[in-house]
Structure 1
Amino acid sequence: METKSASTKKTSAKKTVKTPTKSNAKTPAKKDAAKNLSDLFEDSLKDIYWAEKALTKALPKMQKNATDPKLKKAIGDHLEETKEQIKRLEACFKALKKKPQAKKCDAMQGLLDEGKSIMEETKPGAVRDAGIIAASQKVEHYEIATYGTLAAYAKVLKEKECLKQLISTLDEEKNCNNLLTRIADTNLNSKAING
């Protein structure tokens, strides 16, 4: 009996031994990789430009699937804001003497896909409205993080026109997020408890 347990201990000890990994391995940079903060700023503008354009297609679908009148109005209002935000991004590109260019934003695509899934997997009414708010706030939080970062880059790069445009949009995104919280908190989430 003792022999078996001793050999079992040796076997299990062997199993837990891990092979060392290379922690200093570097990912090779792409040819068009950002070389400095200015490149990173421009690349990030392209990402959010794509994201805002994608939102102009997603928001009408969300509005159509919502039932709460306050939520429908908030989505409609934010659609109009989003169109203005696209114009602000175009003003940033112009200030940088660059042509506005969109580059697919994988993060926003994932958030929009999740929002679509929520609408497909929820019962119409308060439950779906609560899900739409959750999905919308994830988008808003991503945008708040992105615009906050871009504004910080613009400040360091002394891109005053871009900074002004980005701060305006950042404020709108924060206001939208706060409005969605108020809509959810004023009875909507409670109605969703029982469907």
Structure 2
Amino acid sequence: MPALNTLHDLYVKQLRDLYSAETQLLDALPRMAAAASDSTLRTGLERHLDQTRVQAQRLDSLFMDLDCTPGGHTCQAMRGLLAEADELLRRDAPPAVRDAGLIACAQRVEHYEISAYGTAAKLADTLRLPHHAERLRLSEREEQAADLSLSAAATPINRAALGPATAALR
């Protein structure tokens, strides 16, 4: 495990954490999209998969700029968040309830990514890497937009998940 002697070392560690998070998502999002019964949710997850590929490429370019490699680190936070999503997918649930659970899992992921990109952008600012900060903030805004999209999808899906026993709550 490399030492963290400088702010630059910490910045590279944060970028590696983000890269690991994004590559883990590249594996998980297809499973999540395939499990979604709501077409809007499925399309949103598939669109985010495409966006995740672009974000990973963006991070690759930052590593090239720094002349270092992205590998050698596993984002444990993302591993845990995706383990929760996998657990949800193994459970027996009505389609709308599963979709509501997928949204919950996906929003936790988005919130983690929003925080991680914001932190890395602030470090890039401090290190006087404005090009890096700009690219990281672009990814942060994309994650915020994905979160808002999930929130919009949640309203009808959550209502559908109420089921007939709780129809009066609609």
Structure 2 partner of 1:158: 128
2:116 is equivalent to residue 138 of structure 1: no
1:96 aligned onto 2:66: yes
Write the distance in 1 (CA, Å) between the matches of 2:128 and 2:54.
Answer: 23
TM-fit CA distance, 1:122? 4.1
Q: Match of 2:168?
A: none
Query: Higher helix share goes to which structure?
Result: 2
Partner of 1:193: 162
Distance change (3 Å), C-alpha of 1:129 and 1:102: farther
Q: CA deviation at 1:46?
A: 0.7
Identity %: 38
- The CA distance in 2 between the partners of 1:122 and 1:137, in whole Å, is 21
In structure 1, C-alpha distance between the alignment counterparts of 2:71 and 2:157, rounded to whole Å: 39
- Please point out which of 76, 84, 87 is paired with 1:106: 76
Q: Distance in 2 between matches of 1:102 and 1:133?
A: 30
- How far does residue 32 in structure 1 lie from its aligned partner after superposition? 2.3
**1:3-152 matched pairs, under 5 angstroms:** 32-152=2-122
Which has the greater radius of gyration? 1
Alignment partners' CA distance in 2, 1:188 and 1:155:
40
Q: Secondary structure at the match of 1:108?
A: helix
Relative to 1, partners in 2 of residues 1:40 and 1:133: Cα closer, same or farther, differing over 3 Å?
Answer: same
Unpaired segments ≥5 residues, structure 1: 1-30
CA distance in structure 1 between the aligned counterparts of 2:81 and 2:91, rounded to whole angstroms: 15
Q: Which residue of 2 aligns with 1:173?
A: 143
For the residue of structure 1 that corresponds to 2:71, the secondary structure is coil
- Using the TM superposition, give the Cα deviation of residue 99 of structure 1 relative to its aligned residue in structure 2, in angstroms: 2.5
Q: Which segment is superposed worse, 162-171 or 31-40? A: 31-40
Aligned residues: 164
Taking a change above 3 Å as real, the CA distance of residues 137 and 172 of structure 1, as seen in their structure-2 partners, is same
TM-superposition CA deviations, 1:122-153 (whole Å, max 9, x none): 41410000000000000000000000000000
The amino acid that maps onto 2:152 is R
For normalisation by structure 2, the TM-score amounts to: 0.92
Q: How many angstroms apart in 1 are the aligned matches of 2:104 and 2:123?
A: 29
CA 1:122/1:148 → structure 2, altered by over 3 Å: closer, same or farther? farther
Aligned-partner SS, 1:133: helix
Whole-Å separation in 1 of the counterparts to 2:15 and 2:72: 8
CA, structure 1 residues 102+171, in 2 after alignment: closer, same or farther (shift >3 Å)?
farther
Q: Which amino acid aligns with 1:99?
A: T
